[in-house]
């Protein structure tokens, strides 16, 4: 049975690595492409914004064709960008999470295990 410190440290390290990796991936995406990363959060916000624009257009008395012309910019995202984001956010972050868990487990076990007494002969 592993040490309680090890049982606590391993999941915490995985969670922290996932959070840090996600922030880094989103920042890197913005630096490379100059746009927000296509996360579910940004897609929901974009859909909400488009719905508000359509509602305002309806209030302003625009025609149905003009209202239907208001589209979600996240729908126009190329497939290759979506696949790239899926690869970055899935595979790479999972690898980072696993590496952090293994490192935390080895480090915590090394700290908590008993060392043999020094041979003072």
Tell me the mean pLDDT in the region 30-41: 88
What is the distance between the alpha carbons of residues 88 and 95, in angstroms, rounded to a whole number? 10
Average pLDDT, the chain: 85
Q: What residue has token string 């302003």?
A: 60
What are the residues whose beta carbons fall under 8 Å from the beta carbon of 67, sequence distance 6 or more?
Answer: 54, 57, 58
* Strand, helix or coil for residue 33: helix
Burial 14-36 (b: 16+ CB within 10 A, else e): beebeeebbeebbeebeeeeeeb
Predicted local distance difference test score (pLDDT) of residue 121:
60
Positive or negative CA dihedral for 57, 59, 64, 68?
Answer: positive
Which pTM value belongs to this model?
0.69
Task: Tell me what percent of the residues of the chain surpass a pLDDT of 70.
Answer: 97
Tell me the mean pLDDT in the region 28-47: 88
Q: Is 54 exposed, middle or buried (0-12, 13-18, 19+ CB in 10 A)?
A: middle
Q: Report whether pLDDT(29) > 60.
A: yes
Predicted local distance difference test score (pLDDT) of residue 48:
92
């Amino acid at each position: 049975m592993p040490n309680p410190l090890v049982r606590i440290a391993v999941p915490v390290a995985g969670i922290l690595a996932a959070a840090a990796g996600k922030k880094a991936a989103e920042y890197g995406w913005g630096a490379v492409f100059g746009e927000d990363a296509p996360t579910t959060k940004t897609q929901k916000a974009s859909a909400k914004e488009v719905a508000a624009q359509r509602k305002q257009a309806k209030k302003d008395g625009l025609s149905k064709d003009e209202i239907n012309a208001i589209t979600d910019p996240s729908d126009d995202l190329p497939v290759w960008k979506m696949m790239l984001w899926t690869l970055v956010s899935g595979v790479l972050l999972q690898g980072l999470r696993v590496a952090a868990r293994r490192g935390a487990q080895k480090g915590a076990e090394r700290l908590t295990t008993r060392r043999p007494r020094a041979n003072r002969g």
